[in-house]
A and B are shown apart, each in its own frame.
Chain A
Amino acid sequence: MELTPLFQWIDTQLISLVEWLGLPIWFAELLEMVLAAVAVLLMAFLIVLFLVWWERKLSGHFQQRLGPMRTGWHGWLQTIADGLKLFQKEDIIPTNVDRKVFFWAPVVCFASSYAAFAVIPWGEGVIPTDLNIGILYILSITTFVVISLLMAGWSSNNKYALLGGMRSAAQIVSYEVPLTLSVLGVIMMTQSLSMVAIVEAQESVFSWFIWRQPLGFAIYLVAAVAETNRAPFDIPEAEQELVAGFNIEYSGMKFAMFFLAEFLNLFLVSAIATTLFLGGWQGPFLPSWLWFILKTTFVIFVIIWFKWTYPRLRVDQLMEFCWKVLLPLAFLNLIISGFLFRG
């Protein structure tokens, strides 16, 4: 059940439609782009709907309870109910906030995570656009999240929010460095920045980069958890210290945007881990997109598992861990890879 024939069919239909209407051929491409963007957006919403429910169920079972049970079969409608509630909430803008920045912060946050989905290879031939600098594009576009958190923290006119914003900026900027370095090892071996090329370099199970770059994978996973601000690195929103961190003053849909972006980021880092280290869509028997989703879901499960098991690090320990442990290890990994896999 590969999806490529379906896309080809849509493609030919669109072209014939455009020709029938007598419009230039670039119009068909434009339509395709819009269609792809809408499809990704829908997919993103579906993913978040599922992830929120799944995390609540998982955390429930980790903690010897059931999690949501009342809304639908095993509470699968819970996220929809929560979303509806957030839609109805009054959109409170506190006095003395910087209104423009306050408004745009969640938008920037959501947009940057959403934009990164453009180069995620969902399956064989199922990729919105195969940029030849795919991984570089993801690494740079997700950095916008930092700006949005700083915007939210700064504009809220609240000490807790400011502390939270500053903390997360410091954290994400720091962890970006080992993250990028760990990815470099893979790029050195494939000699390409394209996501599709990276997946195609991992034909069999034994050529997955997790075997050839084990240290790189470990560094990536740790840095990715820190990137998504999840426990044990959830300093920016440490509720025992900062109540809620940068998003303390947000309510209603603006809060929902941050929430969406948080879970999109979780999916994103797991999808990148799958693509770079776990062979992406490669796998026997099952269709490629299913393999991709299964592997990504597994990585997400591991990250959620971290969250519900570990205590939180302190902010200075977090920085020390990044600069004194992760970064030297990442350089070491880079040097070893350089020696072992001289092209």
Chain B
Amino acid sequence: MNEATPSQYSEEFEVNMGPQHPSTHGVLRLMLRMNGENIVRATPYIGYLHRAIEKICENRTYAQCIPLLDRFEYVTSMASEEVFVLATERLAAVEVPERAEYLRVIMLEFNRIASHLIFLGTFSLDLGAITPFLYCLREREQIMDLFEMTSGQRLTYNYIRVGGVAYDIPEDFLPLARKFVDTFQHRIDDYEAILTQNPIFLARTKNVGIISKDIAVNYAASGPVLRASGVKWDLRRDDPYSIYDRFKFDIPTGTVGDTWDRYMVRVQEMRQSNEIVRQALDQLPQGDYKTKMKAVFKPPVGECYARIENARGEMGCHIISDGSTKPYRVKLRGGSFCHTQLIPAIAPGMMIADLVATFASLDVILPEVDR
């Protein structure tokens, strides 16, 4: 049933899926060449959300770039701030206080959980199960509340700054965060109970959209997509940044690289992130939350590339500085862009329903693809 076999009675036709289609998570446009329900060819068209973020950065000071970069990957804004700040700090050799590093890790991991919750919700939504989506948003809401009480924002935080973080956490942050960490592991059990071994869910995800190890590596897949294909590669362990080498956590991997593996890897990652947050909350030291910076920040001439492990794979930022207050060039790298390229490689022979499931499991976010 899955092979696209043209016969004299069937005629191939084009279906334009998107840019306003409920399951394309934003404004991706897919041109599908169909043979009945089977896909012969899928071509993604991107660029509907291009905002020239990299170019605008060249006209802004380093501090002004941070709120703009919140819009680069808005589901995990903390990560897009962190990667830029990390590159800048390495360029200018800025010391970051201990407490600030811990706060950053707490926020980053909370943000990763929030992002994976969005993935879990929209993924089950794309499979037709509506209820898990609202459960996931309920938990995400608590994380958003924590972010709001710290940074004043719920989506675009402008929290991680060069040399530290913008504000210290308020008094009632710690008890609430601890409460969340304690309850969240049971919530994940609930999600798994409703999905993981559900026969319909298994039928829809097992052996669907298989991305082999070779394809994953050759197409520069990273993050959960790469790990689901069986490659144990996590920048938090393999190229530690910030203070990730101080925490104990596992790197969940899949075996086949199908849609179910990608789902499972992300669910496990939520558990691991939860553990990292727990450890960070326990070890959180007292002290300054930012270093005193000069009023006019000018990094030395040079260039620097920083990369971090984001919820959607490797997120990188290459800054070239000419010694002025503004970066000469900023180049961003996001996992979603590479993962979108996987579509033409794995889509042929699938049914539309499988493509929807597979695309959801790649967890692509379009603003990051288009910048």
Q: Which residues of A contact B (CB under 8 A)?
A: 59, 62-65, 159, 163, 231-232, 234, 238-241, 243, 308-317
A311, B198: Cβ atoms under 8 Å? Answer: yes
Stretch from B95-103, B129-137, B162-170, B217-225 forming part of the interface with A: B129-137
Residues from 8 to 56 in B contacting A, C-beta threshold 8 Å? 13, 15, 21-23, 37
Known: A62-B131, A314-B354. A240 touches B204 (CB 8 A): no
A312, B134: Cβ atoms under 8 Å? Answer: no
CA A243 – CA B352 in complex, angstroms?
A: 12
CA A216 – CA B195 in complex, angstroms?
A: 28
Residues from 41 to 73 in B contacting A, C-beta threshold 8 Å? none
Instruction: Please name all residues of chain B whose beta carbon is closer than 8 Å to the beta carbon of A309 when the two chains form the complex.
Output: 129, 131, 194
Q: Which A residue's beta carbon lies closest to that of B354?
A: A314
Instruction: Please name all residues of chain A whose beta carbon is closer than 8 Å to the beta carbon of B194 when the two chains form the complex.
Output: 309
Instruction: Please name all residues of chain A whose beta carbon is closer than 8 Å to the beta carbon of B295 when the two chains form the complex.
Output: none
Stretch from B108-116, B120-128, B320-328 forming part of the interface with A: B120-128
CA A62 – CA B127 in complex, angstroms?
A: 18
- Taking the closest CB of chain A, its distance from the CB of B357, in whole angstroms, is 8
Residues from 177 to 231 in B contacting A, C-beta threshold 8 Å? 194-195, 198, 200-201, 203-204
A314, B203: Cβ atoms under 8 Å? Answer: yes
Known: A240-B125, A311-B124, A311-B128. A65 touches B134 (CB 8 A): yes
CA A64 – CA B15 in complex, angstroms?
A: 37
B128, A63: Cβ atoms under 8 Å? Answer: no
Q: Which A residue's beta carbon lies closest to that of B127?
A: A311
A316, B130: Cβ atoms under 8 Å? Answer: no
CA A91 – CA B261 in complex, angstroms?
A: 47
CA A299 – CA B236 in complex, angstroms?
A: 52
Q: Is B138 positioned at the interface, with any CB of A under 8 Å from its CB?
A: yes
Interface class of chain B by DSSP: helix
- Taking the closest CB of chain B, its distance from the CB of A131, in whole angstroms, is 38
A317, B352: Cβ atoms under 8 Å? Answer: no
Instruction: Please name all residues of chain B whose beta carbon is closer than 8 Å to the beta carbon of A231 when the two chains form the complex.
Output: 128
Q: A234-B128, A240-B22 are in contact. List 6 more A-B contacts (CB 8 A).
A: A63-B131, A308-B130, A309-B131, A311-B201, A314-B203, A316-B1
Known: A240-B23, A317-B203. A310 touches B351 (CB 8 A): no
A240, B128: Cβ atoms under 8 Å? Answer: yes
Q: Is B356 positioned at the interface, with any CB of A under 8 Å from its CB?
A: yes
Instruction: Please name all residues of chain A whose beta carbon is closer than 8 Å to the beta carbon of B243 when the two chains form the complex.
Output: none
A310, B200: Cβ atoms under 8 Å? Answer: yes
Instruction: Please name all residues of chain A whose beta carbon is closer than 8 Å to the beta carbon of B134 when the two chains form the complex.
Output: 63-65
Instruction: Please name all residues of chain A whose beta carbon is closer than 8 Å to the beta carbon of B195 when the two chains form the complex.
Output: 311
Q: Is B345 positioned at the interface, with any CB of A under 8 Å from its CB?
A: no
- Taking the closest CB of chain B, its distance from the CB of A169, in whole angstroms, is 14
Q: Is B174 positioned at the interface, with any CB of A under 8 Å from its CB?
A: no
- Taking the closest CB of chain B, its distance from the CB of A235, in whole angstroms, is 8
List 23 contacting pairs A-B, 8 Å CB cutoff, sorted by A. A59-B130, A64-B134, A64-B135, A65-B134, A232-B128, A238-B353, A239-B23, A240-B22, A241-B23, A241-B352, A241-B356, A243-B22, A309-B129, A310-B129, A311-B127, A312-B128, A312-B200, A312-B204, A313-B200, A313-B204, A314-B204, A314-B351, A314-B354
Within 8 Å by CB of B351, from A234, A239, A312, A315, lies: A315
Instruction: Please name all residues of chain B whose beta carbon is closer than 8 Å to the beta carbon of A62 when the two chains form the complex.
Output: 131
- Taking the closest CB of chain B, its distance from the CB of A62, in whole angstroms, is 6
- Taking the closest CB of chain B, its distance from the CB of A311, in whole angstroms, is 4
CA A159 – CA B17 in complex, angstroms?
A: 11
Closest 7 CB pairs of A and B: A312-B128, A240-B23, A63-B134, A311-B127, A311-B129, A314-B353, A316-B1
B203, A308: Cβ atoms under 8 Å? Answer: no
Q: Which B residue's beta carbon lies closest to that of A320?
A: B1
Instruction: Please name all residues of chain B whose beta carbon is closer than 8 Å to the beta carbon of A241 when the two chains form the complex.
Output: 23, 352-353, 356
